[in-house]
Chains A and B, each alone.
Chain A
Amino acid sequence: MSLEIKPILVALRRHKAGTLLIALQIALTLAIVCNALFIIHQRLAIVSQPSGVDEADVFVIANRWADTAQSTTQVDAQVRADLLALRQLPAVRDATPSSGYPLQGGGWDNFVTMTPDQTKPTTDAAIYTGDTHFIDTLGLKLIAGRNFRSDDVMVMGTQQSITPPTVIVSKALADRLFPGGDALGKSFYAMGTTPSTIIGIVDTLHRQGVDQWSQAHAGQSLIWPLRADDSRGIFYIVRAKPGQLATAMREAPKALYAQSRMRLLDLKDSIQDYATIRHKVFDSDRGMVILMSVISIVLLAITAAGIVGLTSFWVGQRRKQIGVRRALGATRNDILGYFLTENFMISLAGVALGTVLALAFNLWMVTHFAMDHMSLAYIGVGVLVLLLLGQGAVLAPALRASRVSPIEATRTA
């Protein structure tokens, strides 16, 4: 099958407008699909971030007190009683009080400095509070040092701020603060006047937030040994025994109400398992994945259909010429090759323009929407997809053309 570039170019010059429109359509499709693919891939990476939590078994109770005028001592007594009740449930493995939980969607974070008078903070850490059960409840992996002991745990009242002398940090935070890998036993400041000494390091512990701002501090979190006895409310994080999540989620509120009825557990997000939490926090990211996928598929389908339509028209228009070529000795494959090559050349022009457009579109989004720079791999994939799509779309009309009988040469119209 010989390439007949020159006659194709001559023929295309007679269909300038149509050729340009197809090339333009391919270019625009490439520009949009590349960027959509990039967004999809980026968002999929975000949606599948590990939280560090044993998500299959853990759920979170947002417990709000009906009486917000209680003293810290009263609240603390209630919290201790609640935890005891939760941990005694047959379906429950462990439970911890907390000020927040990973993938909550936003919460408490502090700047971290190495000295108390440092003006520019070293980094930012998400703050979790919990007792000796925090690590086991979330299913975190302690990779160095020790867990909290009960004499480490302090009580923190409503809107009070306490800096405990001991802290457990995530590996990401330890590595950020002490790149030498010798974080254990070292101390730092987290917006307090007294330091906290690292007594343990856990592997992965995601921050509460997933917003763009916190990506710069991804995975940097710390746990302070505190019972946050806020008179407004507290989170109880509960880990069910394997396979008993549903039972534990049903029993937990009953056990808490049995302790005291002066609480509110009836809001729609009062008790959530991790599937729900993950679903909710990545709502808009998943939405973008779906939307961009739908748009990309529609775009590719329309472009393919457009190529089929226009090529069919060209084939119809040139039946007589094809007949003449066939009569003069061109094989079916020659005709097939002609149309495939023609499409390939148009597509090539299209993807060349499209590459420029795709990069321009990406650059524009980088400046306006704080999007990242797109790697050229996406364009590579996009170009390949569109070239294949073009060849695939042109195949049917080209096959039809190759079946034109030489006898057509003798017909008049």
Chain B
Amino acid sequence: MFGYYLDLALRSLKRSPGLTVLMVLAIGFGVAASMTTWSVFRAVSGDPIPWKSSKLFVPQLDIWGPETRKKGGYDHLPDALDYTDAVALMRDHRAKYQSAMYQISPSVVPADAAKHPVHVSGHAVYSEFFPMLDVPFLYGSGWTAQEDHERAHVVVISSKLNRKLFGGANSVGKTIDVEGKDYRVVGVANHWNPQPRFYDLVNSGGFHTDAEDLFMPFQTAIDMGLSNNGNTNCDAIPKEAGFVGLQHSSCVWIAYMAELDSAGAVRSYRDYLKNYMRQQQQSGRFAWPPKTELRDLPQWLSYQHVVPSDTKVSLLVALGLLIVCLVNTAGLLLAKFLRRSGEIGVRRALGAPRAAVYAQFLTEAGIVGLSGGVLGLLLTGLGVASVSWVLPKDIAALARLNVSLLLLTLLVAVVATLLAGLYPTYRASRVQPAWQLKSN
């Protein structure tokens, strides 16, 4: 029977090619606009580490107090930690894994003297950073807690920097020159560039096209005076100058993340943070009541507004376009179906049940949807390819065509067109055979 409906539908579509083309165009453009913006939205709102994002937590401590908040006209706690608290939290070591981290940008001098020094970007982190974030390794591994403690001169480099410096060979055990000092390579990370850069949102703002080149032990970086290359926020100007002055100040510039595996662990970590702040208050560091926050990664991403509001507005407007296209298609299908009232009347009079009329017209709507979907596929491909001149580069690079997006495009087109065709089909099935036969 389906073959017959297909045949009927094709005949009907051929009878009014203008109308058919119009519907296919509308569906195609509507679907393509929404799918293109959807691909961007999906890319920026995805969970960067879905298998354990609910176990990763970011602490915030109220070290500036309510007075500073009032002064600045905001009501949130500082987004990062100062040096004192970051080191204290690391020393207390209350989570399964934890790491303080700050952004560095040292120069690396290639062994080949003829080459210029290269600037790399990276983070100073603790050894637990690697197991906590499941950083994949091409060669070697992260360093040990012992090496953290000894302030060892070790580094983990990216596979990209490894290619640049060692031609991609296994460089574990080799040394590299960072800011004039030798460091031993202990691991090479394997294409690790999570988006958004969730472990340090404060400095990345979310998205970065370039992967990080280098990680080194936190205390080693502090020892070597590798100053912070990320954001620094202060409630007051530091009393001493330089990087050491920054470490003694109440400025916040250190990101922090902890892994807590159970609800119990989260509870006791919250208590620990409260207690820590209470001790600080009692020791006379500040006078206001202790206040802390502990957010898991999904909450932290939304709290930091990682998804740009422009992306959301674009998606909404594009969905609006899709709805208009569907209303448009519904109107045109209605016109098209009712024009054939006579034909429906004859079919019904000859014994076709309502279900047969439904099947016939929904088949026709489905074909329109499918063709619209195919056009939509082409346009979505075009759209995704050209988002780079509509969106900032860091975000545009994330929008990709893949099989699931393509299937979704087709599915949305067909389902949406069938929905748009429901009412017109219903009207068609209500055609009174007797009346049609009489009036003709």
Contacts and interface: CB of A to CB of B under 8 A. Distances in A.
Nearest to A261: B116
Interface string A123-163: 00000000000000000000000000000000001111100
A4 interface: no
Interface in B289-336: 308-310, 312-314, 317-318, 320-321, 323-325, 327-328, 330-332, 334-336
Interface stretch (A180-188, A298-306, A377-385): A298-306
B226 to A, nearest CB: 8
A35 B327 contact: no
Contacts of B19: 309, 313
Interface string A361-385: 0000100111100000000000000
Nearest to B383: A294
A256 to B, nearest CB: 14
Interface residues of A, number: 61
B71 A119 contact: yes
Nearest to A294: B33
B179 A68 contact: yes
Contacts of B26: 302, 305-306
A295 B324 CA distance: 11
Given A158-B242, A283-B393, A66 B117 contact: yes
A283 B389 CA distance: 8
A17 B334 contact: yes
A159 B22 contact: no
B144 interface: no
A287 B389 contact: yes
A369 B389 CA distance: 23
Contacts of B391: 283-284, 287
A67 interface: yes
Contacts of B237: 161, 191-192
A18 B338 CA distance: 11
A140 B335 CA distance: 65
Nearest to B249: A159
B192 interface: no
A121 B236 CA distance: 13
A132 to B, nearest CB: 24
B362 to A, nearest CB: 17
A18 B334 contact: yes
A120 B321 CA distance: 46
B154 to A, nearest CB: 20
Interface stretch (A21-29, A167-175, A335-343): A21-29
A121 B235 CA distance: 12
Interface string B156-177: 0000000000000000000000
Contact of A288 (B179, B238, B310): B310
Given A266-B116, A291-B390, A298-B33, A313 B339 contact: yes
Contact of B335 (A310, A369, A413): A310
Contacts of B427: 17
Interface string B103-121: 0011101000000111100
A404 to B, nearest CB: 17
A232 B229 contact: yes
Given A28-B323, A120-B70, A305-B22, A68 B107 contact: yes
A157 B179 CA distance: 19
A242 interface: no
Interface string A37-79: 0010000000000000000000000001011110000000000
A384 to B, nearest CB: 19
A303 B335 CA distance: 15
Nearest to A113: B71
A370 B309 contact: yes
Interface string B418-433: 0000010001000000
A413 B105 CA distance: 82
B46 interface: no
A299 B321 contact: yes
Contact of B313 (A29, A121, A369): A369
Contacts of B37: 291
B119 A267 contact: yes
Nearest 4 interchain pairs by C-beta: A160-B241, A21-B331, A313-B335, A287-B390
Interface of A: 17-18, 21-22, 24-25, 28-29, 31-32, 35-36, 39, 64, 66-69, 111, 119-121, 157-161, 191-192, 232, 261, 264, 266-267, 283-284, 287-288, 290-292, 294-295, 298-299, 302-303, 305-306, 309-310, 313-314, 316-317, 365, 368-371, 413
Interface of B: 18-19, 22, 25-26, 29-30, 33, 37, 67, 70-73, 105-107, 109, 116-119, 179-180, 225-227, 229, 232, 236-238, 241-243, 245-246, 308-310, 312-314, 317-318, 320-321, 323-325, 327-328, 330-332, 334-336, 339, 389-393, 423, 427, 440
6 contacts: A25-B327, A68-B107, A160-B242, A292-B317, A302-B26, A369-B312
Given A69-B179, A161-B241, A305-B22, 20 more contacts: A18-B331, A21-B328, A21-B331, A21-B334, A28-B323, A64-B119, A120-B70, A157-B241, A158-B227, A158-B242, A264-B118, A264-B119, A283-B392, A284-B392, A287-B390, A292-B317, A295-B318, A302-B26, A302-B30, A306-B22
